Amino acid sequence: MKKNEWTFATTAIVAGLIALSAIATMVIRIPIPATTGYFNIGDVFVVLAGLWLGPLAGALVGGLGPTIADAIGFPVFIPATMVTKGLEGFLVGLIASRAQGSSMKLRTVAAFVGGLTVVVGYFVFEAYIYPAMGKSMPAFAVTDIGAAIVEAFPNTVQGIIGAVGGLALWKALSGYQPGKK
């Protein structure tokens, strides 16, 4: 596929990745009691989308896939997930699109920036935005700054797993061999 060109192949792959990230987020959930949020591996596909197809695809997969999963059981997290994971996919894609050939360096940076986005994004939502929203809409009053600090830990692990998993899948797809650029 030519860089920065949206084709039918891009649509099909993005649709597949949205579905897969929704399923992965939905089925493998380890709850975090403090926030009623949960740890999952859906980020692997968000990072992969950014690395494989660029920022727009990354943003779409991140913004839609895990959000669909949140609708099942954790609807209050929809806004946080849509923004945070959409941004994650977008940033991974943006940075990775500047990488030359099949070089891993910048792609690794991209994947980990994506992981960091998850940690920071959820922290901002859980520590500041949700408590503020909770004042007028009680359904959002599920977190506070203490809970957000606690959840930063599992989110870090989740971010790392997403980045490593996404990179590994991208390597398998690109036929990457160490030493070759």
Residues contributing to the site for another protein (CB under 8 A): 1-2, 7-9, 11-16, 18-20, 23-24, 26-36, 38, 41, 52, 71-76, 137-139, 146-147, 149-151, 153-154, 169, 172-175
Residue 105 CA to residue 118 CA, distance in Å, equals: 21
> How many other C-beta atoms can be found within 10 angstroms of the C-beta atom of residue 168?
15
Closer residue to another protein, CB minimum distance, 98 or 153: 153
Task: Provide the token pair at 156.
Answer: 């870090």
Q: How far is the CB of 175 from another protein (least distance, A)?
A: 5
Closer residue to another protein, CB minimum distance, 35 or 117: 35
Residue 122 CA to residue 145 CA, distance in Å, equals: 11
Q: How far is the CB of 71 from another protein (least distance, A)?
A: 6
Q: Which residues contact 100 (CB under 8 A, 6 or more apart)?
A: 106, 181
Q: How far is the CB of 53 from another protein (least distance, A)?
A: 8
Q: How far is the CB of 176 from another protein (least distance, A)?
A: 9
3-class DSSP state for residue 45?
helix
